[in-house]
Chains A and B, each alone.
Chain A
């Protein structure tokens, strides 16, 4: 997994490349936690996210909860395989997916 981050003022753009699974999600969470304070707009680009398991969903949900309090979170470019996981778990109804 590779994470690219871009901060512009209080806007954070995060692009993930690879897989969010049991072994990679903790690093993803750590990377996010450092930059979230003060962020009002969080945008995830999932174009190159090929796989997500429950450990990745856990980070997404906890981040959504944080962003609900301090601004908003948008997920872009979700592919079919990841979208199916969002559908099955009801995440499609609680996330803002564009």
Chain B
């Protein structure tokens, strides 16, 4: 299991994506898998950084763990942070059938994350937000 700890700031997004991608380099995933993985990772990381942490807070960090199980071809990515209790999965899905005039701007991040992973769950344990997703290599 690989681990990266970064300040809970959206500017760290590229560092997070590099960490996730570097670990998987040896496996030669498809571009489609890579894009879906980047999407889920970006949306979750940015949500946690924006909503579980005060802006400009000095000691808020997000730890990201990544593990690929070769036997089952399952990638597990976990985000652990010490921010305020925040469950991104409580956000309601947007109505994607509305016209452009009726559609609200925003609210698509977690929806996109969900659509691009096979399993996602949230726990609050010992003062920490723990969000885990699993993605099956198809």
Q: Report which A residues bind B (CB closer than 8 A).
A: 21-23, 51, 53-55, 57-58, 61-62, 64-65, 68, 80-81, 84-85, 88-90, 93-95
B92 CB to nearest chain A CB (Å): 15
What does DSSP make chain B's interface, helix, strand, loop or mixed? helix
Show 18 A/B contacts (Cβ-Cβ < 8 Å), sorted by A.
A21-B42, A22-B13, A22-B42, A22-B46, A53-B39, A54-B109, A55-B46, A61-B105, A62-B105, A65-B101, A68-B101, A84-B32, A88-B112, A88-B116, A89-B94, A89-B108, A94-B100, A95-B100
Q: Which of A53, A85, A88 has the most CB of B within 10 A?
A: A53
Further contacts, 4 of them, CB under 8 A, given A23-B10, A65-B101, A90-B96: A22-B13, A65-B100, A81-B35, A88-B112
Tally of chain B residues near chain A (CB < 8 A) = 27
**B32–A81 contact, CB under 8 A?**
yes
Q: Which residues of B contact A55 (CB under 8 A)?
A: 46, 109
Q: Does B61 contact A (CB under 8 A)?
A: no
Q: Which residues of B contact A61 (CB under 8 A)?
A: 100, 103, 105
Closest-by-CB residue of B relative to A52 is: B39
Q: Which residues of A contact B26 (CB under 8 A)?
A: none
Closest-by-CB residue of B relative to A19 is: B38
**B43–A54 contact, CB under 8 A?**
yes
Q: Which of B31, B105, B108, B115 has the most CB of A within 10 A?
A: B108
Q: Report which B residues bind A (CB closer than 8 A).
A: 10-11, 13-14, 31-32, 35, 38-39, 42-43, 46, 94, 96-97, 99-101, 103, 105-106, 108-109, 111-112, 115-116
Closest-by-CB residue of B relative to A21 is: B42
What does DSSP make chain A's interface, helix, strand, loop or mixed? helix
Cα distance A38–B43 in the bound complex, in angstroms: 34
**A81–B97 contact, CB under 8 A?**
no
A89 CB to nearest chain B CB (Å): 6
Please provide the 10 A-B residue pairs with the shortest distance between their CB atoms, ordered closest to farther: A90-B96, A54-B109, A94-B100, A54-B108, A81-B35, A22-B46, A88-B115, A64-B100, A53-B42, A62-B105
Cα distance A88–B39 in the bound complex, in angstroms: 12
**B112–A54 contact, CB under 8 A?**
yes
**A57–B108 contact, CB under 8 A?**
yes
